[in-house]
A = this chain, B = another copy of it.
Amino acid sequence: MAAKRSSVAGKRPRRTGASPRSAQEPPLSLERIVATAVELLDTHGIDGLSMRRLADRLGAGAMSLYWHVDSKEKVFDLALDSVLAYRESQTAGFQDWREDVVHMLEDWRACMQRHPWSASLLPRRALGPNILGRLEQLSKTLSEAGVADADLNAGIWSLWNYVMGATVTRGSFDLSDDDRAAAQRRLTDLSRLYPTIERSRLLLDDDWDGAFRKGLDFLLDGIAPRP
């Protein structure tokens, strides 16, 4: 069971194995597999990724993937974490800790927005290095800002939850133009049932970025250490 390969790739390239492939096709590697999986996910969505398709794109046989990877699940986990790579310098070091947090979380959200399938992968137990790294960064920033120890974990989690929720919600509520028209019609029909929603145009408003920022401010108002 499990892959035969140890977690790290062998050092020497060891000229490619049995494959009589198109001669100069590069050999399989975890990196190539993950990168191609992301490609496939981006273009064909979460149902468009199958092991056979993935292997095809790599010019390999389907079962060859399993030497590098335990299972399809693992491919998903790796794809998710790979998409969340980050450079610390980009998102920290401003004057204000609030600004730091906003940058970090907006960047996180932007990453996931670029790869809409990633939201579907969130409810899985995947703590890759990038996810943990971002958590650490957030945690450190809040801690240094002077948030009380008793509030620290709750603060981290609430920010975290907020970002997760925003990306998940966006996936389910961001409507295509057709959907929008249909929703408009349906909502008008149903304005008796949902008058407040209808009046505020909650479902039709599409300033997601603005709303995200505003909600973040609400949250930070509550988290900020009291004088």
Q: Which residues of B contact A171 (CB under 8 A)?
A: 123-125
Contact B153 A200 (CB under 8 A): yes
Among candidates B122, B153, B214, residue contacting A154 with C-beta atoms closer than 8 Å: B214
Contact B124 A172 (CB under 8 A): yes
Bound Cα distance A149, B76 (Å): 41
Bound Cα distance A220, B162 (Å): 13
CB closest residue in chain B, given A152: B200
Q: Which residues of B contact A152 (CB under 8 A)?
A: 200
* Chain A positions 194 through 211: 1 when the CB is less than 8 Å from some CB of chain B, otherwise 0: 111100111101000011
Q: Which residues of B contact A218 (CB under 8 A)?
A: 154-155, 158, 219, 221-223
Q: Which residues of B contact A196 (CB under 8 A)?
A: 136, 139-140, 143
Contact A153 B221 (CB under 8 A): no
- Size of A's binding interface in residues, CB under 8 A: 63
Bound Cα distance A41, B220 (Å): 37
A217 CB → nearest B CB, Å: 7
CB closest residue in chain B, given A186: B127
Q: Known interface pairs A193-B136, A194-B132, A222-B221. Does A168 touch B169 (Cβ–Cβ under 8 Å)?
A: no
For residue A179, CB closer than 8 A to chain B, the reply is yes
CB closest residue in chain B, given A135: B197
For residue A133, CB closer than 8 A to chain B, the reply is yes
Q: Which residues of B contact A160 (CB under 8 A)?
A: 165, 169
A18 CB → nearest B CB, Å: 34
Q: A122-B168, A157-B166, A158-B219 are in contact. List 13 more A-B contacts (CB 8 A).
A: A120-B120, A122-B123, A125-B175, A143-B200, A153-B211, A154-B215, A161-B161, A161-B165, A162-B162, A162-B165, A164-B165, A165-B165, A221-B222
